[in-house]
């Protein structure tokens, strides 16, 4: 069966040992804590971007509900809330309240989706966290914001049966979905942590070709999102050497987030609220559906979005690795920035302000 050549984008780098993060219950409490710590800095940054008397403001005023919402996502399991939101009519139901229509576009990589967002070709996107971070930092916080979490977990280093412990990665040939992406940075950081940065080769390859490379023996393993990690395990006799969840506090690290361009947020906050509400409803649908219903719906949505899907056994195993949640995990982003910088993939920066929590907070009122 043909496998979709989609890429779960993120960032590229050698993995630095993940440090413990202070734990608080609930995403709202963590967001408010971060806001309190960075309040003075945020005021200074905002002030520095205020337009002068002869300048046009970078963001438009609230113009009410949008006539149309253009959204991008990947035909990947970790983007299942986007798939279900469209295929089950959830997003359109919310948008119909204001007469807003929507168009969706499938992307294969985060940078392409970010480019489309920055050019105005789309208004919102489901992304891996690293492309979102890269855009936010390179634009000095002016391009986009994360408005909701989507999925966490669901990324692993899978290797051939001859590699049974991390030390045996020395001299290996490994793959990641895309240079600078989330899984690429995770792999490079992990190798750096093991002092194997110079002893293993990392070759970025699209998710759709990794199985072929592994089957021909051209690579020894890969750090992949789901369902591609489960695909290698189910179909190519690979095994999971590292589940990335083991490296994060409480096993939580963002895999997919929902971002919106700042210009669209300023112009159409009501429409953004509808988008966030639909995302939350889709997540609740996935979390409350029984296994058979969830599997069938995800398979159907993948075929509709991409023209093909995976065997049920692969999807079933992959769903056990991925957790769907609107919690944006705001305390993790600075760690991701620091990891990318440590492996010389990013330039570093301050991730404060990346998450705009107002739409999630509105749901709690």
Which of 37-41, 86-90, 244-248, 332-336 shows the lowest per-residue confidence on average (mean pLDDT)?
37-41
Residue 104, classed as helix, strand or coil, is: strand
Q: Judge contact between 37 and 43, C-beta under 8 A.
A: no
Rounded to whole angstroms, how far apart are CA atoms 15 and 33? 27
> Around Cβ 309, how many Cβ atoms within 10 Å?
23
pLDDT one-digit tens code per residue, 136-148: 999 999 999 999 9
> Around Cβ 6, how many Cβ atoms within 10 Å?
26
Domain locations in the chain as residue ranges: 27-47+64-154+252-364, 155-250
Question: Which residue's structure tokens are 């995403």?
Answer: 27
pLDDT band at 222 (very low <50, low <70, confident <90, very high): very high
- Look at 59 and 211; give whichever has higher pLDDT: 211
Residue-level pLDDT at 111:
82
Phi-psi region of 105 (alpha: psi -120 to 50; beta: other; left: phi over 0): beta
pLDDT one-digit tens code per residue, 353-364: 999 999 999 987
Q: Which residues pair with 158 in a beta bridge?
A: 222, 240
The closest of 264, 247, 72, 239 to 162, measured between CA atoms, is 239
Q: Is the pLDDT assigned to residue 58 strictly greater than 70?
A: no
Q: Is the pLDDT assigned to residue 47 strictly greater than 50?
A: no
> How would you class 159 by CB atoms within 10 Å of its CB: exposed for 0-12, middle for 13-18, buried for 19 or more?
buried
Rounded to whole angstroms, how far apart are CA atoms 15 and 284? 32
For residue 282 the two structure tokens come to 């889709």
pLDDT one-digit tens code per residue, 162-171: 999 999 999 9
Give every CB contact of residue 288 below 8 A, 6+ residues apart in sequence: none
Q: Indicate the average pLDDT of the chain.
A: 84
Residue-level pLDDT at 344:
87
Rounded to whole angstroms, how far apart are CA atoms 70 and 124? 7
Which CATH number is correct for 27-47+64-154+252-364, 3.30.470.10, 3.40.640.10, 3.40.50.720, 3.40.190.10?
3.40.190.10
Long-range contacts at 207-211 (CB < 8 A, ≥ 24 apart): 207/5, 207/6, 207/7, 207/8, 207/76, 207/177, 208/3, 208/4, 208/5, 208/6, 209/5, 210/175, 210/177, 211/3, 211/235, 211/236
Residue-level pLDDT at 38:
45
Question: pTM of the full predicted structure?
Answer: 0.80
The phi, psi pair for 208, rounded to 5°, reads: -70, -20
Q: Is the pLDDT assigned to residue 7 strictly greater than 90?
A: no
For residue 106 the two structure tokens come to 């499938």
Rounded to whole angstroms, how far apart are CA atoms 121 and 107? 12
Can 27-47+64-154+252-364 and 155-250 be said to share one CATH topology?
yes
Residue-level pLDDT at 60:
64
Q: Is the pLDDT assigned to residue 321 strictly greater than 60?
A: yes
Which of 79-93, 110-124, 317-331, 335-349 shows the lowest per-residue confidence on average (mean pLDDT)?
335-349
pLDDT one-digit tens code per residue, 255-306: 999 999 999 999 999 999 999 999 999 999 999 999 899 999 999 898 888 7
Q: How is domain 155-250 classified at the CATH fold level?
A: D-Maltodextrin-Binding Protein; domain 2 (3.40.190)
């Amino acid at each position: 069966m043909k496998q979709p050549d989609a890429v779960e984008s993120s960032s590229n780098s050698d993995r630095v040992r993940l440090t413990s993060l202070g734990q608080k219950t609930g995403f709202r409490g963590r967001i408010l804590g971060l806001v309190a710590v960075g309040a003075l800095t945020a005021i200074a940054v905002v002030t520095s971007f205020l337009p002068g008397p002869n300048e046009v403001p970078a963001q438009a005023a609230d113009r009410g509900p949008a006539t149309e919402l253009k959204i991008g996502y990947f035909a990947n399991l970790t983007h299942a809330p986007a798939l279900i939101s469209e295929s089950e009519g959830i997003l359109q139901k919310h948008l119909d309240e204001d007469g807003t229509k929507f168009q969706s576009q499938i992307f294969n990589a985060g940078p392409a989706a970010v480019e489309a967002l920055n050019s105005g070709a789309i208004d919102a996107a489901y992304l891996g966290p690293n492309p979102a971070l890269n855009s936010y930092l390179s634009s000095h916080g002016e391009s986009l914001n994360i408005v909701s979490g989507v999925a966490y977990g669901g990324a692993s280093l899978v290797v051939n049966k001859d590699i049974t412990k991390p030390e045996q990665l020395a001299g290996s040939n490994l793959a990641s979905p895309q240079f600078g992406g989330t899984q690429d940075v995770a792999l490079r950081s992990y190798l750096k942590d093991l002092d194997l940065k110079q002893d293993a080769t990392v070759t970025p390859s699209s998710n759709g070709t990794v199985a072929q490379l592994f089957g021909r023996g051209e690579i020894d393993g890969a750090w992949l999102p789901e369902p591609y990690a489960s695909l290698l395990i189910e179909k190519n006799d690979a095994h999971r050497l590292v589940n990335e969840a083991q490296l994060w506090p409480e096993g939580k690290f963002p895999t997919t987030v929902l971002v919106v361009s700042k210009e669209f947020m300023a112009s159409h906050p009501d429409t953004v609220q509808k988008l966030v509400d639909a995302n939350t409803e889709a997540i609740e649908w996935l979390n409350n559906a029984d296994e058979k219903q969830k599997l069938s719906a995800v398979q159907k949505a993948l075929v509709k979005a991409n023209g093909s899907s995976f065997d049920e056994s692969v999807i079933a195993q992959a769903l056990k690795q991925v957790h769907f949640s609107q919690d944006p995990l705001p305390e993790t982003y600075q760690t991701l920035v620091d990891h990318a910088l440590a492996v010389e993939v990013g330039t570093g920066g301050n991730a404060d302000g990346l998450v705009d929590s107002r739409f999630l907070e509105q749901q709690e009122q």
